[in-house]
């Protein structure tokens, strides 16, 4: 692997519990507890890639029980500089039907009771991170470009409402989220995005709308319907991720390497 390549990580959510075969790397145990699963390192072309299953393997950890701090910390220790988070979400508007792919640019956090910062008084001196733009614009741009180049339609601006779960919402809650300005609803982008920022890692979210939000369709939401959308939608998500990582590999080849050290794989 080239010394010049930075390590990119995919955090897979519901419907994306693996990406491709690789080897286990890094440590599951961190000062904040254990990661959701082993980190699997592989490569696409020459671009190194780490993968972490957010809900564990098998998929069993509820959104509010995920050890977000351990996950982000372990990725950082491995040398990850950019994180692409894959999130299954509900769509609030009729122009975001099930199957849509969305790359949000803003979020509102409604979660509670989650360990949401590394600045908890224990180990680091207090810093108030800037979170004006919660998703890294350049990384979002790379996803959007890769989507265009591979003919995949994406919505490239949206407000992600991060809710506690694991239950879905009431109609009144969805109405309130809409009034607040949310376009999509998910359970896992927070505190993940903020923790990545605290560790100075780029972070972007690639969302698959797996259901119309509560009260936004004639029928009730069922897991059967959600899984049907996941089965087809995640094929597109995988294609887009592969295209984006391939483009990163080409970009790095055509740019002179100025980085001193390569990825710190263990
Ligand atoms: N609401 C919250 N989170 C979700 C939904 C939803 O409708 N669908 C998938 N994740």
pLDDT tens profile 170-229? 999 999 999 999 999 999 999 999 999 999 999 999 999 999 999 999 888 889 999 999
Ligand 1 site-directed mutation target among 211, 221, 226, most atoms within 8 Å of CB: 211
Strands, E, within 134-244: which ranges? 159-162, 184-186, 202-212
Choose the weakest-confidence range: 4-13, 102-111, 208-217.
Answer: 4-13
Does 88 contact ligand 1 (Cβ within 6 A)? yes
Q: Identify whether the C-beta of residue 8 lies closer than 8 Å to the C-beta of residue 251.
A: no
pLDDT at 251: 76
Does 13 contact ligand 1 (Cβ within 6 A)? no
Q: Which residues pair with 51 in a beta bridge?
A: 10, 40
pTM: 0.92
Does 78 contact ligand 1 (Cβ within 6 A)? no
The pLDDT-based confidence of 263 (bands split at 50, 70, 90) is very low
Does 195 contact ligand 1 (Cβ within 6 A)? no
User: Which whole number is the average pLDDT over 99-113?
Assistant: 98
Residues 151/157/159/165 CA torsion (nearest 10 deg): 10
At residue 231, φ and ψ (nearest 5 deg) are -55, -45
Residue nearest to atom 3 of ligand 1 (CA): 186
Q: Is the pLDDT of residue 260 over 70?
A: no
Six-digit token pair at 33?
């507890």
Residue nearest to atom 2 of ligand 1 (CA): 186
Ligand 1 site-directed mutation target among 168, 174, 226, 237, most atoms within 8 Å of CB: 168
Q: Identify whether the C-beta of residue 183 lies closer than 8 Å to the C-beta of residue 158.
A: yes
Q: Is the pLDDT of residue 266 over 90?
A: no
186 CA closest ligand 1 atom index:
3
User: Which whole number is the average pLDDT over 233-237?
Assistant: 96
Choose the weakest-confidence range: 45-49, 60-64, 256-260.
Answer: 256-260
């Amino acid at each position: 692997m080239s010394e010049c390549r930075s390590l990119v990580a995919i955090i897979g959510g519901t419907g994306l519990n693996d990406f491709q075969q690789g080897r286990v790397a890094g440590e599951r145990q961190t000062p904040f507890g254990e990661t959701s699963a082993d980190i699997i390192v592989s490569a696409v072309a020459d671009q190194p890639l780490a993968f972490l299953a957010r809900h564990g393997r098998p998929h069993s950890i509820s959104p509010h029980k995920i050890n977000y701090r351990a996950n982000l910390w372990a990725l950082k220790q491995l040398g990850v500089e950019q994180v692409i988070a894959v999130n299954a979400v509900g769509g609030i508007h009729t122009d975001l039907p099930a199957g849509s792919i969305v790359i949000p640019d803003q979020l509102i956090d409604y979660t509670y009771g989650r360990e949401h910062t590394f600045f908890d008084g224990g180990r680091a001196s207090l810093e108030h991170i800037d979170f004006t733009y919660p998703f890294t614009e350049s990384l979002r741009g790379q996803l959007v470009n890769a989507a265009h180049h591979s003919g995949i339609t994406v919505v490239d601006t949206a407000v992600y409402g991060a809710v506690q779960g694991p239950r879905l919402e009431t109609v009144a809650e969805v109405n309130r989220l809409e009034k607040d300005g949310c376009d999509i609803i998910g359970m896992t982008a927070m505190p993940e995005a903020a923790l990545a920022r605290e560790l100075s890692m780029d972070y972007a979210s690639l969302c698959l709308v797996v259901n119309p939000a509560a009260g936004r369709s004639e029928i009730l939401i069922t897991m059967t319907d959600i899984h049907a959308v996941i089965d087809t939608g995640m094929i597109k998500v995988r294609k887009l991720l592969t295209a984006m990582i391939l483009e990163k590999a080409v970009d790095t080849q055509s740019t002179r390497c100025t980085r001193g050290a390569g990825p710190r794989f263990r």
